Amino acid sequence: MTNLVPIGRALISVSDKSGLLELARGLAAQGVELISTGGTAGMLRNAGLAVRDVSDVTGFPEMMDGRVKTLHPNVHGGLLALRDDDEHLLAMAAHGIEPIDLLIVNLYPFEETVAKGADHETCIENIDIGGPAMIRAASKNHRFVTVLTDPADYQALIDQMRANDGATTLAFRQKLALTAYARTAAYDTAVSAWLSGALNQPFTRSKSFAGTLAQGLRYGENPHQAAAFYTDGTGRAGVATAKQWQGKELSYNNINDTDAAFELVAEFAGAGPACAIIKHANPCGVGKAASLKEAYLRAYACDQTSAFGGIVALNQPLDAETAEEIVKIFTEVVIAPGASDEAKAIFAAKKNLRLLTTQSLPDPAEKSLAFKQVAGGFLVQDRDVDSISAADLRVVTKRAPTEAELADLMFAWKVAKHVKSNAIVYVKDGATVGVGAGQMSRIDSTRIAARKAGDMAEALGLTQSPTIGSVVASDAFFPFADGLMAAAEAGATAIIQPGGSMRDDEVIAAADAAGLAMVFTDQRHFRH
């Protein structure tokens, strides 16, 4: 297979013109003939470079508002022709097709246009046609053609040519072809995703998801697993869009847990200061209070053992007072919608503590799709964004919850949505006091949460478990009364759960017998 291929002619058609002048000058200095389209050609000429218009190559003017300019055999023949195939060479000679050795194309800014909230017609006009067609052609013929789709690769091309007397290596061309095909795949995915949203048809016959590499990671969940982090271009507030002020690079687990923490605390936007502490994607404490410091301390008090080495998420900008409390224990990451200079200075003394800030909180009600890989395919579903208000609850017991119980029940329900199933959450006075997550039976989650609360009571020197006088949330129905009774035995006075079990009557009767208040949400929040 051909290795070194000299570059004699380049076709340039770019939307993003960053770095282009420097590249074009470097190519011209090595004797490369430049062909370009529209505004790009004008920019290069204004810089004193000799440029042929693509219309000179095709024999046709650019037409239909630029929709048709490169879709021509003289362009695609020049890109696709095999330089070692006599029939291809004869066809080129017979039809006046000149070889194109280098293609420099980046696409209309479709993703950016959608992100800005442009109207339907504007989005349509920003769907590139000629660009992807040329990229695919050049990439297919990478034995002979070099294709550039990203300004980040411009300098590497110049370095290649300088090192190889104006030529590129096969390995280099293969790498760029892979980059190019990945780019067109992501671009088509963005168009498909936008159109499926516009037509309200999320589950299309074919489905793909795309992203842009944000960073390579040292490893995945475990050291023997390779990993990387990609952004999806949506701009959702969170770890992907946050600014990191200090600390070492985020790991796979850091990113996963930070996302879980920030999405949870966003449930309490506008509800006063709130804090969530996360470990292994599960909350080990959530609290709200009159101040951010107090909210953190209340979250921390739920499970101080698990909080060590955890992720802290805040729903308000980090202040100095709260920062001073957080640095008292080892914490991996803190994320908040902003931070004061004083807080940043306090964190600066902890070099391994990562501080991330965002411009805002994510919107818990924003609709999108989530996917999960399984053997041979993947599952796709709506993100769990539905929520309920107190007015949606059904009181099913003889006793209705008090006003204080109701407030805690709603708090517990928001938290339970973010706990791995089977999920049980004890809450008292606006803070979690026990969390049971990820157990195979609901009664085990109930007992574990209560036991952890008892352990903390002992550690903190409390006279009784904080579950006494608490409320309980369950992410799904109690299939038997035993889980509910275990919560009652732990001191719970009120229960919130979806309902829907064949034994609801039995569970309701048990609640009544124990003097509990119980409400049904008619909404489940499984989280696997």
Residues annotated as part of the active site: 140, 280
Q: Which candidate, 416, 398, 404, 426, places its Cα nearest to that of 519? A: 398
User: How far is 174 from 143, CA to CA, in rounded Å?
Assistant: 8
Only one residue has tokens 């204080």, namely 404
Q: Quick one: tokens of 482?
A: 């035993």
> What beta strand segments (E) does 268-374 contain?
274-279, 282-288, 310-314, 331-336, 354-357, 369-374
DSSP string, 89-134: HHHHHHHTPPP--EEEEE---HHHHHHTT--HHHHHHT--SHHHHH
Q: Which candidate, 395, 444, 392, 438, places its Cα nearest to that of 419? A: 438
CA dihedral 244, 247, 248, 254 (to 10 degrees): -70
* Cβ(171)–Cβ(146) below 8 Å: no
User: How far is 81 from 91, CA to CA, in rounded Å?
Assistant: 9
Nearby residues of 465 by Cβ (< 8 Å), 6 or more positions away: 433, 450, 453, 454, 457, 490, 491
Q: Residue 25's CB: how many other CB atoms inside 10 A?
A: 14
Query: What letters, b where the CB count within 10 A reaches 16 and e where it falls short, cover 76-91?
Result: bbbbbbeeeeeebeee
User: How far is 510 from 424, CA to CA, in rounded Å?
Assistant: 18
CA distances from 18 to 43, 84, 112, 236, 498 (A): 12, 35, 16, 26, 54
Q: How far is CA 492 from the centre of its chain?
A: 37
Question: Cα–Cα–Cα angle for 129, 135, 139, nearest 5°?
Answer: 150
Only one residue has tokens 């709260």, namely 322
Q: Which candidate, 417, 431, 250, 408, places its Cα nearest to that of 334? A: 250
What is the residue type of 485? Answer: M
Q: How buried is 399 (Cβ within 10 angstroms: 0-12 exposed, 13-18 middle, 19+ buried)?
A: middle
Q: Which candidate, 287, 435, 418, 438, places its Cα nearest to that of 362? A: 418
